[in-house]
Each structure stands twice: as C-alpha cells, then as structure tokens.
Amino acid sequence: MKRLLACFLTLVLLCSGISFASAQEVPTIKVAYMITMNAAADRDKVQAEINRVLTEKGLNVQIEFVCIDFASWGQQINLLLSDGSIDLFNCCFMTSVGDLAANGSIAPIDDLLDQYGQGIRDVLGDYLNCAKVGDHLYGAPKLAAYSLAPGFLMNKEMATKAGINKDDITNLDTLTEALKKVKATYPDITAISTGPNGSLYDPTGLDLLGSEKAYASLKLEKGSTDLTVSNYYASDDFKKLLTYGKTWSDLGFIRKDAINGQEASFSGMHSGEAFGTFVGYASEEISESINASAFSFDISAAMLSDTPWVTSDNVTGMTWCIPELSKNKEAAMIFLNALFTDPDIANLCGNGIEGEHYVVTDQGNITYAKADQDALTTGWPSGMGTFWPNMLITYPWAPDKADTYQLWKDSNNTCEKSPALGFVFDPTNVVDEIAACNNAVSKYYNVLMLNIGDTDTMLSEFLTELDQSGVNDIITEKQNQLNEWAKANQ
C-alpha cells in the first residue's frame, strides 16, 4: 500500500512538473516600439492586455515592449541587433532590408513563414517578394497604400480665404500660381513649410532601387519597361526641378533660414506660421485620411501628378524583421502573423484598449474614450497606428469612415508598378561609394533646392563630387544586379 501511495505521489509530482514546465515554456519576445510625441504612459497596461488576449487565443507567445525614442531609433536598434536584445522590429528610419540582410543583422524567414506565417503570405501576396534578397525572404512589409505620387497638403481654411480650389492644382506650375494667391492673402506666413535642414521636394517618378538618394535610379514612365540605371541629378529633369526651387525662393514662399531648420515640415502648419507642405501618397483622399488626425484644423490635399507608382522601396520602407541573433524566432513569427491577421491583436497594438483609449462610434470608426484625450495626451498613441504591420484590419480613426481602408487596398491594385518591382539591391560591393555619394547629396541637395548661392556652379561641383565618390561604380553594380534579376524573373 505504501509503495502504491509513493508511486501515486511521484506520478502527481511528475504531472505537476510537466504542467509547470509547460507553463514556463511560453516564450516572451521583446518587441521594439517607437516613442514619438506621446510617451505611451500606459505601455505596461497595453502590454498586459495583449498578453492576456494571446493566452486566451492559445498563441504560444508573450511580449515585452522595448520602447525607444524616435530621435535615437536607428542607432538604438542597431545596438540591440548586435547583442540579440530584441526579437522583432520595424526597420523604418533605418538602412534598407537589403543592407540589413547583407550585413547579417536579420534572419531569413522562409521556413518560419511556411510553419507559422501562412496568414502573412495570404495578406501580402506578391508584395511579400519585395523583401526578398537573393533567394530568401528577410521580412514582412507593413500592409499599406504602397503607391506614391507627389502632393501638397494645405490648411483648408487658408486655402478658401485665398480663393484656391484644390482641383486647379495639378502640377508644380499650377501649385506655384496658387501659392502666389496665398502669399498675397497672408504676406507674413511661409507658403511652403520645409523640414530639417530645408528639405523641400523629393524627386518623383523614380525607382531609387534600394538607395536613399536618386543618383542611381530608374526613370518611371507609363508603358515603359526600360531598366536603365542612371544618375537623376545629372538629368535635364533635375535641372528643371531646380528652376522651381529658384522661383519659390525668389517669390518668398520659403522662410529665409530654412537651411537651419530642425523641425518636421508639419510643425510650421501646426503653429499657423505655414500654409502647407509636400507629401506623397496614392491619392488626395488617402493623403487627407492619413494626416487628418495630426491637425486641430481641417486640411485638404492636391495631387501634383495623376500617376501613383509602387516600387520595392515603397513597399519595404517599414518592413518587420526578425534579428539573426534572436533566440525566439518561432515565437516572433507567431506574434507577427497575429499582427497581420487578428483584428483584436492589431487593434490593441495600434489603437490601445477599447473603452480606455478609444470607443467605437455608430459609424464604425473610433474616437477618443474621453473628451480631454488627444494624440499627445492619451496613454497609448493613436498616431503610431501606421507603425504596425496591418492597420487595414483595425478600426479607422474619425473622421475617417469605416470603409476608408478599402481605398488603400484598391490603390495597390490600380497603381502603376515599376518594372523593377521586387528587385532588392545588395550594396555589399559598393558600401564605401554609397556612403560617399550620400554625403555629397546631403551637402548639396537642399542648398540647391533652396537656391542658396550660384546654382549652376554648385550643380557642377555636386556632379563632380558624385563622380569622385564613385557614383558610376554604384550605377554599374546596380545595373548588373538588376539585369540578373530581370533574367531570373521574366
């Protein structure tokens, strides 16, 4: 009898041990989260709720937020990648997926997707291939309206008082005429708000092919399948763009000390010191939708081109990656798949806790749970919804309507696609040349666009410095890789 009792107790202990061990085996992954204008004071509360829901849904993962300030995001992520301190991150405001794959910072995820991420494959479809480097996938691009076209975002009340009809603004010439009316009506304000160091207007209708700048890019034209890589800054198109910078400067549309500015381009609009700024989205509706919650006044947008383009860079700019040194890759993929496919998890991450940070309206959109809450003071920032992998399965914020995100999905199906869509550049062979050329662009581009000094002389010096920095080596390397990619993907 004693022997039977002893065996029974041993069995109970063993079973208890198994249960305890099973409970302990649920891995906790560290997820990098960006802190911007809102300190996310309720981060622990939101984290706990996410973990509760993950457990309730039977998903074998728990999370811990690693919060990082926007200003140091890239630097801190690189440090964390070097010692395996995070398991999942968004590569926004960093180097490209191609660079991260080439230097061994991120893990290939093909097998992980096959086992734990089929939902991601279903959601992204062929756009997933934009995160393919060589023969392997290295991340899952955030689902969004991928195509971009140049636009101008403006204070709607100011535009009305100045007699501006946004439908009359269709290109840089008609925008210039509209801004003359703004300057006549509001002589003391800045017509065009610039960003840090005077960043003004980026070239459009180009595929940058994995670079930050346009010195080795494709010119995109409807119906063309040309894959010739060239230096945009040496083109007649760039010379023409510089004439607009000169006109805007001469007409006083840009503040005199723009080159010294450090604020985001929206800052001048927020303070009432500026009328508008350049943006790039697929349509007026999407541009207004994305930016409406960022302002306390009504805004409107005008498109400067009728052709939105999608490139690999557009798709992969906010790709979610798993670090190579992560010890919890499977759990990271389980959570990432949930972010793409589960509205409950996506809403918690992007919008916070229902009833505490937001409430659902009769129109099917959401607004703040309390009258005194806004994007800056709520405990979980709504403005960071665009940070997460798939906000298209969540509630949109008022004044957006319940069907707003359908516009985003539709734009991905109707936009023009670069003939190099899916190509990801491997910069390994020209790392030094790229760094030198990027420095040259940083030195000259904004100064040229702001018309500071002798533009013709500076442009000549700029092109010479690019040549000396090895721009032609970069162009040759890109062209060779692009040709090989084209052969393999005909």
Least confident window among 48-52, 284-288, 293-297, 433-437:
293-297
Instruction: Answer yes or no: is pLDDT of 1 > 80.
Output: no
pLDDT band at 120; cut points 50, 70, 90? very high
In the block, residue with structure tokens 């993907």: 489
9-33 average pLDDT score = 62
DSSP reduced 3-state for 225: coil
What confidence score (pLDDT) does residue 382 get? 65
DSSP reduced 3-state for 21: helix
Instruction: Answer yes or no: is pLDDT of 6 > 50.
Output: no
Q: HSE-up of 468 (CA within 13 Å, CB side)?
A: 9
Instruction: Answer yes or no: is pLDDT of 403 > 70.
Output: yes
C-alpha pair distances (Å), 37 with each of 71, 105, 171, 264, 275: 11, 28, 33, 12, 22
- 242, amino acid identity: L
| pLDDT greater at residue 18 or residue 403 | 403
Distance CA 443, CA 440 (A): 5
DSSP-assigned beta bridge partners for residue 126: none
Query: Which superfamily does CATH assign the domain made up of 26-144+316-395 to?
Result: Periplasmic binding protein-like II (3.40.190.10)
Distance CA 306, CA 255 (A): 29
What confidence score (pLDDT) does residue 9 get? 39
What DSSP assignment string belongs to 394-429?
SPPBTTS-TTHHHHHHHHHHHSEE-TTTT-----GG
Instruction: Answer yes or no: is pLDDT of 435 > 90.
Output: yes
Token pair belonging to 14: 């063993």
| pLDDT greater at residue 76 or residue 294 | 76
pLDDT band at 199; cut points 50, 70, 90? confident
In the block, residue with structure tokens 């002893």: 6
Instruction: Answer yes or no: is pLDDT of 128 > 60.
Output: yes
8-35 average pLDDT score = 63
Distance CA 98, CA 132 (A): 8
Distance CA 131, CA 374 (A): 35
The β-bridge relationship of strands 149-155 and 366-368 is unpaired
369-380 average pLDDT score = 88
pTM: 0.81
Q: In this structure, what DSSP letter does residue 88 have?
A: B
- Indicate the length of the chain as a whole number: 490
19-32 average pLDDT score = 73
Q: In this structure, what DSSP letter does residue 142 have?
A: P
DSSP reduced 3-state for 152: strand
Q: What is the CA radius of gyration of the chain?
A: 25
Instruction: Answer yes or no: is pLDDT of 119 > 70.
Output: yes
Residue 20's Cβ-count burial label (10 Å; 0-12, 13-18, 19+) is: exposed
pLDDT > 70 in the chain, percent: 94
Domain ranges (residues) in the chain: 26-144+316-395, 201-253+427-490
- 14, amino acid identity: L
Instruction: Answer yes or no: is pLDDT of 12 > 50.
Output: no
Residue 324's Cβ-count burial label (10 Å; 0-12, 13-18, 19+) is: middle
Instruction: Answer yes or no: is pLDDT of 441 > 90.
Output: yes
Instruction: Answer yes or no: is pLDDT of 157 > 90.
Output: yes
Distance CA 142, CA 316 (A): 7
Phi and psi dihedrals of 160, rounded to 5?
Answer: -65, -45
| pLDDT greater at residue 400 or residue 293 | 400
Residue 12's Cβ-count burial label (10 Å; 0-12, 13-18, 19+) is: exposed
C-alpha pair distances (Å), 259 with each of 295, 379, 481: 25, 35, 37
Residue-wise burial string across 294-321, b where 16 or more C-beta atoms lie within 10 A, e elsewhere: eeeeebbbbbbbeebbbbbbbbbbbbbb
pLDDT band at 5; cut points 50, 70, 90? very low
Under a CB-based contact definition with an 8 Å cutoff, are residues 189 and 270 in contact? no
